[in-house]
A and B are shown apart, each in its own frame.
Chain A
Amino acid sequence: MIRNVSKLVGKTKEKKPHLQKNHEDSKPQDTLYKNFNQNVETFRSVYNNCSDVVFRPFLLFGKIRAMVIYIEGLSDIEKIEEFVFSPLMQEPVNEPQSINEFLEHKLPVSQVTRMNMLADCIESISSGNPILLYEGKSEGFSLGLAKWEKRGIEEPIAEGGIRGSREGFNESLEINTSQLRRIIKSPALKIQSMKIGNYTKTTVAVAYIDGLVDQALIEEITSRLERIEIDGILESGYIEEMIEDNPYSPFPQIMSTERPDIACSNLLEGRAVILVEGTPFTLIAPISFFSLIQSHEDYYQRFMVGTFIRWLRFAFLGISLLLPSLYVAILTFHQEAVPTALLLSISASREAVPFPAIVEALIMEITFEALREAGVRLPKQIGSAVSIVGALVIGQASVQAGLVSAPMVIVVAITGIASFMMPRYIAGIAIRMLRFPIILLAGTLGLLGIMMGIIAIVIHLCSLRSFGIPYLSPLAPLKGGELKDVLWRAPWWMMDTRPRLTGESNLYRQSPEQAPNPKRGGGTE
């Protein structure tokens, strides 16, 4: 249905006016001039009204006019002084034959690149690498001295855990890629980068393991990324929405994570990781629905524990989606479906409540969502105040005042806890959101309505694709052997194969029959 709607929308959509190009791109003159003054003037006009751009003129070897252009705070000033100005400003003992050669071979800077395009020079300056110009040369030298303040590697906040690495990605792309490289040391880990965003010029890198990944997937991802034409990328969420398969779905078809270990485990299963500069959240594609309810810790704990917790999660997934609506449906349509004693207790506690069950449920659920959102957005000190007020006012006072029945509060509380069981916050939100239409269905059509809601959701899930991978795989289409990582968490010595749909090109990840066994010296006698 959703797809049809999108078709309808597609038909009625008018052609949007084409995005206006940036002023740099429309500049007539693209290469640098031979004339030093002219070059400097050009740069000055480009960086007109940019007080943070520093133009530092000096005399190269004491005689040639030269200039270093950099942005304050993005370049390492100490190093510029020590390794650029101090060797270049002195008159050398024996004059070098060519300044070019001197700069390229004798300057103690790790990266020196010659550029003759104005746009390249500007990009270099913007990313923190100073540009050196001197008289008589239509080229600029980009010096790799970028350095700016970064957050250190910290514990991932949204994806904590008891066991496992405590390192999280941060906002710096280089640090993020280096973390991947530190885990996967093989040169088969490839990282391709591109710049997206006409103004932000955000670096977006696609990481994958050559030989594990389906090359067509990388081509598809790259082509979808290249299609993006936007003025800025502030978070990977922008990219996610621009490249996912079905934009009209509440379910995320691309997973985001701030944990390098999760990113690497997905790389090893033949998926691609998209890293975006400026955010600790990297994207993983393609995914299936079940990756959203698997947690990294499932794999780090003993497999029985992992399996148990996974089952618990499945159960609470259902509770999170259905409990309030079941309560509403049973209380308004199917009163015979509850045990007598329970119905008597519920009816006693509901006696003074002025609202019908569905209104009660909606009030409580919406209040709960508001509380949750307020708690997330507020500073920590005030957040605790919100939760106290919420617990007291909603939990107790409203029941005592007879506005809400106690069983409803219990239902909402259990549902709230259940929705936080989802290891991926974003999937939890999708489920929480779908709860409301199902409550409405339950209140109007009873259990029948709930079934209709579930069927609609399942049909939608079946129709979803993530970069061509069926969203419910390996359950639909059913791949028996691969349920080892869905229905339960098989012990590591049984996980011989990668998921077939993403890791088909290199199916076996380990040698078989590695179960510890006394005969092989693995276990205890």
Chain B
Amino acid sequence: MKNIFLLVLVSGVTLLVSGCWDRVEVNDLAIVTAAAIDKKDDNQIELSLQIFIPKALSSGGGQGGGTGGGGAVTLVTSHKGSNISDALSKLQSEFPRRVFWGHCKVFIFGERLAKAGIQEQMDFLLRHPQPRERAYVYVSEGKAKPILELFAPLERYSAERLREISDLHLGMQVTLQDLDEKLIGIAQAAALPRVDILPPEKGQEKSQGKPYIVGTAVFKKDKMIGKLTENETRGILWIRNEIEASTVTFKLGAEKGKISINPIEATIKLVPVIQNKKWIMVVKIDTEGSIIQNGTNLNLSSTKLIRAVEKAFAKEIEKRIKLAFQQTQQVLKADIVGFGEEFFRKYPKQWKENEGRWDKIYPEIELEIEIKAHVRRQGYINKPGGMPEKEVKEQ
């Protein structure tokens, strides 16, 4: 009996002595929901954290905190420092709870910082065990900190709003890990979604502006070198097969009115070809869409007309891709889609020979686009809605 007692005692003491060292109660955590990093003068950065206030949620009860004047569920705190960890340690010394990155799903780099280079700050985010690799990364239009200070009436906090918008796949959706892979990858170019603030309406407070995604910031190495507009971004999304919810609207020949098609599915193949020392990229797209609006007077249930629509649809996609590609290839000269990787996979020898020259080869790559577009569904009605039968053109 004595022995058992001794055994229990020893194992119990061992547990209590050795365990618990990294134990933190939830009550002692400052849950970071978003972080913004801005560049300041005198070679310093400013780290701003959006931190969740548990009290706000518990006292607000089921009514849901954060509605207009209902009180914010988050607070923003910031501090300057020579880099993130420096700023963080200074910030921590002024903050009563331990900063916890585990649920930070939004990182926003200020435009100035992005232009100066983000590598140094990336190192912290990737090295520290707490920040998630699956957090989304953005570049702000102007300073990043104001984005954190906004209210989000529909969501719990503004970072959540950004994340939800990203999940709709209307713009680029880049996680910390994607960004890291792109930056260390062959192409050494990356793209991040750009965030801007819709100014508040008249009579509203400054904090009632709404963050939204305006397009893409293009990075070469770790520095931002240019921007893509929303339209150009769509073209990039087509090549990267990330298109999901965006509608394609176009005119059909000389017809009056426009047709809108929602792409439902797309398979995209990038086929690199090297012919006579000429580098060509063949983009093969096979897509399927459904008509969601028909503004013309055409009855699209006729096969002939549908073929025409499909053709116009394909052409519109091609136009978008070309637009985007021209900007990234000719103007910005950054391989954000990852053509380099495709060539490297198919032609490893040629790649090795020309590895140093990729920056020169890339702007000269010829783009061939082959699109097979199909329209499979037309919605509930065939003929144009709300139009007398006489006016409908059957052929």
**Which residues in A have some Cβ–Cβ distance to B below 8 Å?**
5, 8-9, 12, 331-333, 335-336, 340-341, 343-353, 356-357, 440-441, 443-446, 449
Closest to A349 in B: B58
Chain A binding site: helix, strand, loop or mixed by DSSP? helix
- Rank and list the top 9 A-B pairs by shortest CB-CB distance, nearest first: A336-B102, A444-B19, A348-B57, A348-B58, A351-B54, A348-B54, A8-B3, A340-B103, A347-B54
Interchain nearest-CB distance for A181 vs B (Å): 45
Contacting residues, chain B, for A349 (C-beta < 8 A): 58
* Cβ proximity bits B33-73 to A, threshold 8 Å, 1 near / 0 not: 10000000000000000001011111000000000000000
Contact of A5 among B3, B31, B130 (CB under 8 A): B3
**29 sampled A-B residue pairs with Cβ under 8 A:** A5-B7, A8-B3, A9-B1, A12-B2, A12-B3, A335-B29, A335-B102, A336-B130, A340-B33, A343-B103, A344-B103, A347-B26, A347-B27, A347-B29, A348-B54, A348-B56, A348-B57, A348-B58, A350-B25, A350-B26, A350-B54, A351-B55, A353-B27, A357-B26, A440-B15, A444-B19, A444-B23, A449-B15, A449-B19
Chain B binding site: helix, strand, loop or mixed by DSSP? mixed
B23 pairs with A332, CB closer than 8 A: yes
Q: Does B80 lie at the interface of the complex (its beta carbon under 8 Å from any beta carbon of A)?
A: no
Contacting residues, chain A, for B19 (C-beta < 8 A): 444-445, 449
Q: Does B387 lie at the interface of the complex (its beta carbon under 8 Å from any beta carbon of A)?
A: no
- Per the bound structure, the CA–CA distance linking A16 and B179 in Å amounts to 75
Contacting residues, chain A, for B55 (C-beta < 8 A): 348, 351
Contact of A335 among B4, B56, B57, B100 (CB under 8 A): B100
Q: Does B240 lie at the interface of the complex (its beta carbon under 8 Å from any beta carbon of A)?
A: no
Closest to A352 in B: B58
Contacting residues, chain B, for A5 (C-beta < 8 A): 3-4, 7
Closest to A442 in B: B19
**Contact A346/B26 with A441-B15, A449-B19 known, Cβ cut-off 8 Å:** yes
Contacting residues, chain B, for A352 (C-beta < 8 A): 58
- Per the bound structure, the CA–CA distance linking A8 and B31 in Å amounts to 51
Contacting residues, chain B, for A343 (C-beta < 8 A): 26, 31, 103
Contacting residues, chain A, for B2 (C-beta < 8 A): 12
* Cβ proximity bits B76-117 to A, threshold 8 Å, 1 near / 0 not: 000000000000000000000000101101000000000000
Closest to B2 in A: A12
Contacting residues, chain B, for A351 (C-beta < 8 A): 27, 54-55, 58
Interface hub of B2, B3, B55, B56 (most chain A Cβ within 10 A):
B3
**Contact-residue size bin, chain B (C-beta under 8 Å from the other chain):** 20 to 34
- Per the bound structure, the CA–CA distance linking A440 and B19 in Å amounts to 10
A345 pairs with B103, CB closer than 8 A: no
Interchain nearest-CB distance for A520 vs B (Å): 49
Contacting residues, chain A, for B105 (C-beta < 8 A): 340
**Contact A331/B26 with A9-B3, A343-B103, A351-B54 known, Cβ cut-off 8 Å:** yes
Contact of B20 among A336, A341, A350, A444 (CB under 8 A): A444
Contacting residues, chain A, for B22 (C-beta < 8 A): 333
- Per the bound structure, the CA–CA distance linking A340 and B57 in Å amounts to 14
- Per the bound structure, the CA–CA distance linking A348 and B23 in Å amounts to 19
Interchain nearest-CB distance for B215 vs A (Å): 27
Closest to B102 in A: A336
Q: Does B331 lie at the interface of the complex (its beta carbon under 8 Å from any beta carbon of A)?
A: no
Q: Does B156 lie at the interface of the complex (its beta carbon under 8 Å from any beta carbon of A)?
A: yes
Contacting residues, chain A, for B24 (C-beta < 8 A): 332-333, 335
B25 pairs with A356, CB closer than 8 A: yes
Contacting residues, chain A, for B100 (C-beta < 8 A): 335-336
**Contact A9/B15 with A347-B31, A348-B58 known, Cβ cut-off 8 Å:** no
A344 pairs with B3, CB closer than 8 A: no
Contacting residues, chain B, for A440 (C-beta < 8 A): 15
Closest to A351 in B: B54
A344 pairs with B25, CB closer than 8 A: no
- Per the bound structure, the CA–CA distance linking A379 and B389 in Å amounts to 82
- Per the bound structure, the CA–CA distance linking A441 and B7 in Å amounts to 16
Contacting residues, chain B, for A441 (C-beta < 8 A): 15
Q: Does B132 lie at the interface of the complex (its beta carbon under 8 Å from any beta carbon of A)?
A: yes
- Per the bound structure, the CA–CA distance linking A345 and B2 in Å amounts to 47
Known: A331-B25, A335-B24, A344-B31. 16 other contacts (CB 8 A): A12-B2, A12-B3, A332-B25, A336-B103, A343-B31, A344-B156, A347-B27, A348-B54, A350-B54, A357-B26, A443-B20, A443-B23, A444-B15, A444-B23, A446-B23, A449-B19
**Contact A347/B130 with A5-B3, A445-B15 known, Cβ cut-off 8 Å:** no
* Cβ proximity bits B110-146 to A, threshold 8 Å, 1 near / 0 not: 0000000000000000000010100000000000000
- Per the bound structure, the CA–CA distance linking A351 and B52 in Å amounts to 12
Q: Does B381 lie at the interface of the complex (its beta carbon under 8 Å from any beta carbon of A)?
A: no
